[in-house]
Amino acid sequence: MIKAGIIGATGYAGGELVRILLGHKEVEIKWYGSRSYIDKKYAEVYQNMFELVEDSCLDDNIEKLAEEVDVIFTATPQGYLASILTEDILNKVKIIDLSADYRIKDVAIYEKWYKIEHKSPEFIEEAVYGLCEINRDKVRNARLVANPGCYTTCSILTAYPLVKEGLIDPDTLIIDAKSGTSGAGRGAKVPNLYCEVNENMKAYGVTTHRHTPEIEEQLGYAAGHDITVTFTPHLAPMNRGILATEYASLVKKEDGTFPTAAEIRNAYEKYYKKEKFIRVLEEGVCPETKWVEGSNYVDVNFKVDERTGRVIMMGALDNLVKGAAGQAVQNMNLLFGFKESEGLELVPMFP
């Protein structure tokens, strides 16, 4: 049994961490950190935890927390962890950071897209990008895990096999993604009010969304060179879910023909057939957010457009589970040698 602490336990991702970890047989939550609700009972913040969690919220004293637990989850805004992380803390405890502070290896790119100064760039190089299905072996030996974002997890996993196998030209990749409103966090914001979101769809962060360089960096590793993608996110009137529809030009083979649907499916099967949490759907079945809600699954599929020589790739996940807390727990399982799916065998909820 290991001890875990959560800083940011009353945000949506933090609340999902609590829900998942309460069902994990190898973990005890020792610290429910929340600067906004210090000394308030956690179950008063989230009534669904009534008679399940008796603890009150504590502050975000990470130095004290590092003395008391084995792993810390930081479900906090960008810049928080980078401003307080020290070598002494990392020598005492493993950290899984759900923010973007250590996801991007080039500090200049991070500062450009996030508009803040990085306070501890000395830890960027050692941080492991925690996309488990791709970096599993690196995660196992990490002290600091940079948990990927929700849009990025879906966008990367949907295209990864075809980029890795050289079946598409990644510089032609266009990612059209939709997210539920929980992806914007629990803070009160006028654009997220019910009347603003309900019966409405809108694009935002067009050409400027800060997940763009994260997608480019990780798919660039798969391609073996720097790439540039077009990424446009949209806000959808639903609580949870990410749906990514991605378009790219197929690369002609030596004989002048394009890869066939069978060859593309073989690429997906090569990388994902043994993956517990990635489901390659049957031919003709499009991923839908409702079939992954509440679970750690990613559903992917594709369709070849022979007329244009392009392929349409599709992926769906729950932004709070595989897109945040579930993936963080998956990373924790790898760090401590637990069964990777422990606490995460959550059947998707419907309706």
| Domain covering 2-126: architecture | 3-Layer(aba) Sandwich (3.40)
pLDDT at 189: 85
**DSSP strand pairing (310-317 vs 298-305):** antiparallel
Catalytic residue among 132, 150, 154, 195: 150
pLDDT at 184: 84
pTM for the whole structure: 0.96
Nearest Cα neighbor of 93 from 61, 121, 124, 122 is 61
Measured between alpha carbons, how far is 156 from 317 in angstroms, rounded to an integer?
12
pLDDT at 192: 84
The tokens describing 11, both together, are 């945000």
| Domain covering 151-319: architecture | 2-Layer Sandwich (3.30)
Question: What is the location of CATH 3.40.50.720 in the chain?
Answer: 2-126
Question: What is the location of CATH 3.30.360.10 in the chain?
Answer: 151-319
Nearest Cα neighbor of 298 from 276, 313, 325, 274 is 276
Q: What is the mean pLDDT of each run of 10 residues along the chain (351 residues)?
A: 97 98 98 96 98 97 96 97 98 98 98 97 98 98 97 98 98 98 86 91 96 98 98 97 98 94 98 98 98 98 96 98 98 98 97 92
Measured between alpha carbons, how far is 176 from 109 in angstroms, rounded to an integer?
22
pLDDT at 187: 82
Q: Is 150 among the residues known to form the active site? A: yes
Indicate the Cα dihedral angle 254, 259, 263, 265, nearest 10°. 150
* 7 CB-near residues (< 8 Å, 6+ apart): 31, 33, 60, 62, 65, 72, 73, 74, 75, 76, 80
